[in-house]
Structure 1
Amino acid sequence: MPEKHDLHSEFPEFKEQIHQLKQHNNHFAVLFSRYHEIDHEIHRIEQGAEVCSDDYLEQQKVQRLHLKDDLFSMLKAAETTV
């Protein structure tokens, strides 16, 4: 069974920063929402609930990875300001 890659599972040590940034940083909230949408779509595709080309799936995975990197950078920066 494909595993989900939600940010709370990926970065449990940043639970508080995720919550704070979602509440107080609009850019983070938008990226977080987009990451969640893409992760959910990938999960549905991998479960067979949706059909797409392999290229599209790989493109979505790359986009999810880039968003994850951006979000992680923002989380690290928020950690140093707390």
Structure 2
Amino acid sequence: MFPEYRELFSQLKANDRHFDSLFIKHHELDQKIQLMEAYVEPASHEDIETLKKKKLRLKDEMYDLLKKASATQPA
């Protein structure tokens, strides 16, 4: 995820509780969606789509934080 920010991503995960929390929630949703799509966990198509939208919002928020952190770093 976000290969252009690989180093910064690792720094934020280690040093920013909010960013790390977003990452953990994103990862948990990803796993839940995979289980639902594999029919391991029962869910409707609408349930899966709702979770995918939540996951995308988390990813968007992480991206925004990465862009802001990148802008404040020395060149």
Task: Note the residue ranges of structure 2 that are not aligned, 5 or more in a row.
Answer: none
Give the total of aligned pairs. 73
* 1:38-53 superposed matches below 5 A: 38-53=29-44
Partner of 1:23: 14
Q: CA deviation at 1:54?
A: 1.2
Percent of matched pairs sharing the same residue: 38
Structure whose alpha-carbon radius of gyration is higher: 2
Distance 2:34 2:56 in 1: 14
* Pairwise CA RMSD: 1.0
Structure 2 CA distance, aligned partners of 1:49 and 1:77?
A: 38
User: Structure 1 regions of 5+ residues with no counterpart?
Assistant: 1-6
Tell me what 2:25 maps to: 34
Give TM-score scaled by structure 1 length: 0.82
Residue number among 61, 69, 75 corresponding to 1:70 in the alignment: 61
Aligned to 1:14: 5
